[in-house]
Amino acid sequence: MRCPSNLFRCAYGACVSGNAPCNGRVDCADASDELSPICRTNSDEINGQYKCINGQLIPAENRCDGTPDCNDGSDETVRSCAAMSCLPYLFQCAYGACAEQGAECNGINDCADGSDESIELCGNQTIPHTTKSTPRTTTQPTTVTNINSKCKLPDYPQHGTYDVIGSPNAVPGQILNTPTLKFTCNTGYGLDDPSNIYCSDGIWSAAIPRCLRQCKDIDNPTASYECDMVYGNNTKSSWPCREYELEGTRAAATCKPHYYWNGAKIKAHCVDGKWENVMKCLPNCGTVVDKSTELVIGGKVAVRGELTWHAGIYKLSPDARQYDQICGGSLIKRSTIVSAAHCFYDDNNEALHPAKNFAAALGKIYRSWGDTRDKDAQKRYVKNIHIPETYKGRENNHQDDIALVIVDKPFTYTTYIRPVCLDFKLDFEMGQLQPGNMGKW
């Protein structure tokens, strides 16, 4: 089984999150995501030699080939082979090693664990199973070989670099026997293919990965996103969008509860480090809910949830011991309430009172700031207050008596907290003198 480039292939074949390797949590059933050589700070390969667990040295190219060469068998284990990526024509053993082409179900155990002849793979066969026996040498391999069968290190990727595992001083253009490269990208870039590739007999296990620009997660409280990417053969993979996504990734939005979208669904695209065509859902405004707890609005029976946009404006008492309700308002955005300018204006000094003296609450049906019967209330401190320059309080008979109140933290839309609907149509006469609802205590 081959996994999409954004996923990690466990040694036995399963595909898990690309963030699985070395994250301290076992995501693969065989733990190969945590046993992989890339999770260890010290390399098991030194100068073309692989160091077995018992200290024995064998040629590095004999590691993970299906035949144990270490006396303790440690060269053919998940710990040693978890990071292997086999050439397409080879068979990959369950623990990660690469066996010869046609190894599966041929009656010979080409894998050290016999996974090439397992019942799960081959079914019940009557062919007698024999063990492959290939003489090996544990002496230092000769250094004189045909250059065509060796591997030339590639150039560093644009916006990135790589390390040669076991050869920290290796540089691009150098000729090595069986190098394994671990790629990394500069800040703001990510790999479009697996970070580790290796070369054998002059053939690389995969294409050299590229470092592509990344887009940070979409900061949009109105929707959640599912990301996908179309691959060359038109296959498509999708996943919950992560903190960073590669250029070319698409993000499909799903409106969160209490939001909606009536237009055609569009997908955002990660282009040059930024998301384009981001769809922002609209809040359900002016909605009411079923009757529950009853209070009074202007002598008329009101119910819990009838005025989901109604805000209470509170002012800190002179002794700074409590908040007293002084005015009302209507929520128009998650962080913005429209209210009256006179609630915040000091006529004596002809200036606004400090914003820090005020607070706001929504979802309340009881007037007192700390009433414990309010189960759905959300409270915020006022961060800023905006009034028209023309407002002068009593001096001009409260002309332009309107204020925008900005709170320190956005309100969360719920069943009992929604914004009021704003109508910017010019046919004002249609709404004038018509019945409406207004809340007060």
pLDDT bin (cut points 50, 70, 90) of residue 66 is confident
Q: Are 117 and 108 in contact (CB under 8 A)?
A: yes
pLDDT > 60? residue 314:
yes
pLDDT tens for each residue of 374-396: 888 999 999 999 999 999 998 88
For residue 431, what pLDDT is reported? 60
Segment of 70-84, 94-108, 353-367 carrying the highest mean pLDDT: 353-367
State pTM to two decimals. 0.45
By the 8 A CB rule, do 74 and 55 touch?
no
Q: Taking residues 143-156, what's their average pLDDT?
A: 65
Angstrom distance (rounded) from CA 37 to CA 50:
12
Whether pLDDT at 158 is above 90: yes
Residues 6+ apart with CB under 8 A from 26: 33, 34
* Each residue's pLDDT tens digit, 15-57: 888 778 877 778 888 777 777 666 665 567 777 788 888 888 8
Average of per-residue pLDDT across 93-109: 86
- Laid out side by side, the sheet with 274-276 consists of 236-240, 223-230, 250-255, 267-271, 274-276
pLDDT of residue 203: 83
Q: Where in the chain is the domain with CATH 2.40.10.10?
A: 294-407
Alpha-carbon span 35 to 438, nearest angstrom? 65
Q: Give residue 111's Cα distance to chain centre.
A: 37
Percent of the chain surpassing pLDDT 70 = 80
Are residues 308 and 416 in contact, defined by beta-carbon separation less than 8 angstroms?
yes
Q: What's the pLDDT at 147?
A: 45
Residues 309 and 327: their CA atoms lie apart, in Å, by 14
Kindly report the CATH number that applies to the domain delimited by 147-209: 2.10.70.10
Whether residue 166 is predicted with pLDDT greater than 90 in this model: the reply is: no
Superfamily designation of domain 294-407: Trypsin-like serine proteases (2.40.10.10)
Residues of the chain with CATH 2.10.70.10: 147-209
